[in-house]
Amino acid sequence: MSGGSGRAADAWGLLDPDPPLFASEAWLAVMSDRIEGTHRRTVSAPGTPDATGFFATVIGDSEVSESKNPWQLLFEPCSLRTLAPEAEAAQAAARAGGPARETWFPSLVLMYPGLECFPTGPGRHRPAALDRAVASVVGRARDEGLRSVAFLYVQPEERVLAEALRRAGFVEFPLALRCNLRPPGTSFADYRAALSRNAAHSMDRIRRRIAERGVTVRRFTLDELDEAGVERLVELRLQHRAKYGRRPDTAGERAQLTAFRRHFGDRAEVVAAMADERMIGFCLFLDAGDVRHAWTHGIDYTDSRSKDVFFEVCYYRPVEDAYRTGRKELSFSYGAEGSKLERGCRLDEVSGFVLPLDDGDLASAHSAARALARGLVRPGPGR
């Protein structure tokens, strides 16, 4: 398996001439620092029809943030999902009888910035190739004295990868519920008809009130924005952070938007609410091929005309545009499932797969996984 930084980077670049966005060199260069640790590109059987690659990070800090912490995601309640009370109790029992958090680190965590995990390369759909790639990943982790291996955020479409991980003895558990929306039928009228009666009436009311306030909606790619336009996005992002109690990060917001404009400007679309030629709300979508990801948004809460524009720029206008531009899947990531269900999303289970490299930890890991599988709560609309 190729793993050295120079050789692996070269082998990675040969895996796929047109890789998925999250596996592209540009994306990894811009976004990999969102995952704390030492990054590596693992490539099995390079230069052959079975060549298969994964992006991975060696994480040494057992207190790493929740979304990248395999021990915490398996053994503790987390913000990414809701469990029934009896499942929480069973998870707590597994935790009490299981390994200490620090004993699973350093951990080799395989996931992309963007909270997905998938193989890339010509071997990505071949069971035998994936078996070899997974065995290589685990073997190297053992040789390096790592304590666990985790494939996190394996999407439901990655059935061949999931089967390979099961064959390799990984413990599977439900990690989160993904909220995606595929516009139904052939027109926006079909979308409206698919909503509940209350949701359809709510949409009609929101759109009517927005129009009465003189708010219009525009679409443009990020590379069409000048510096002043990027600064306005930053301002709106800071208002959003403040509203939800997050610390201000002007430099971070500006750096990400500037990098997106430079590297993905024609693949990043801004759906913006405008009042008197001034942006009062936006949602930024990333075109990842078959899926458009709602990546970030911001609202001017100081302007009364911005009330409810969030729903227009994040849901209604992007769905309406999808019928005109091609009905791509829209992804709204994780969390707030009830609100997203109400606006036409479906909930898909996204999995984690973990292998503690101390076989004595397997029983408690399986117990925690069973608790999660039996008690994952699927909220209804509006909850």
Q: What is the DSSP letter of 33?
A: G
Residues 49 and 146 both lie in one domain: yes
Instruction: Give 239-280 pLDDT, tens digit per residue.
Output: 999 988 888 899 999 999 999 999 999 999 999 999 999 999
Asked whether residue 231 is domain-assigned, the answer is yes
The separation between CA 313 and the C-alpha centre of its own chain, rounded to angstroms, equals: 20
Q: Which amino acid is at 368?
A: A
Instruction: Give 7-28 pLDDT, tens digit per residue.
Output: 666 789 889 998 999 999 999 9
- The whole-angstrom separation of Cα 152 and Cα 67 is 9
What confidence score (pLDDT) does residue 7 get? Answer: 65
Asked whether residue 28 is domain-assigned, the answer is yes
Range(s) of the domain holding residue 35: 5-176+349-375
What confidence score (pLDDT) does residue 72 get? Answer: 98
Whole-angstrom CA distances from 36 to 147, 151, 296 are 17, 16, 21
pLDDT at 1 > cutoff 90: no
Residues 30 and 126 both lie in one domain: yes
Asked whether residue 337 is domain-assigned, the answer is no
- The whole-angstrom separation of Cα 264 and Cα 86 is 45
The mean per-residue pLDDT over the stretch 61-89 comes to 96
Asked whether residue 26 is domain-assigned, the answer is yes
Write down the mean pLDDT value for the chain: 94
Q: Which residues lie across from 285 on neighbouring strands?
A: 269, 294
Q: Minimal CA–CA distance to 121: which of 26, 1, 31?
A: 1
Asked whether residue 312 is domain-assigned, the answer is yes
Around Cβ 68, how many Cβ atoms within 10 Å?
23
Residues 152 and 189 both lie in one domain: no
CATH of the domain at 259: 3.40.630.30
Q: What is the DSSP letter of 351?
A: E
- The whole-angstrom separation of Cα 269 and Cα 256 is 14
Counted domains in the chain: 2
Q: What is the DSSP letter of 379?
A: P
Asked whether residue 331 is domain-assigned, the answer is no
Q: Minimal CA–CA distance to 49: which of 132, 116, 136?
A: 132
Residues 254 and 157 both lie in one domain: no
Residues 45 and 143 both lie in one domain: yes
Residues 286 and 262 both lie in one domain: yes
Residues 172 and 189 both lie in one domain: no
Instruction: Give 140-186 pLDDT, tens digit per residue.
Output: 999 999 999 999 999 999 999 999 999 999 999 999 999 999 999 99
Residues 224 and 150 both lie in one domain: no
Residues 209 and 152 both lie in one domain: no
Instruction: Give 191-236 pLDDT, tens digit per residue.
Output: 999 999 999 999 999 999 999 999 999 999 999 999 999 999 999 9
What is the dihedral sign for C-alpha 36, 38, 41, 43? negative
Instruction: Give 328-369 pLDDT, tens digit per residue.
Output: 899 999 999 999 999 999 999 999 999 999 999 999 999 999
Q: Which residues lie across from 288 on neighbouring strands?
A: none
CATH of the domain at 75: 3.40.630
Sheet of 346-356: strand order equals: 38-44, 52-59, 107-110, 148-154, 346-356, 171-181, 329-334, 291-299, 278-287, 268-275, 216-221
Residues 82 and 222 both lie in one domain: no
What confidence score (pLDDT) does residue 28 get? Answer: 95
Angle between helix 85-96 and helix 362-375 axes, rounded to 10 deg = 170
Around Cβ 255, how many Cβ atoms within 10 Å?
13
Instruction: Give 89-148 pLDDT, tens digit per residue.
Output: 999 999 999 999 999 999 999 999 999 999 999 999 999 999 999 999 999 999 999 999
Residues 154 and 303 both lie in one domain: no
- The whole-angstrom separation of Cα 178 and Cα 156 is 9
Residues 172 and 188 both lie in one domain: no
Q: Minimal CA–CA distance to 335: which of 291, 373, 383?
A: 383
Asked whether residue 339 is domain-assigned, the answer is no
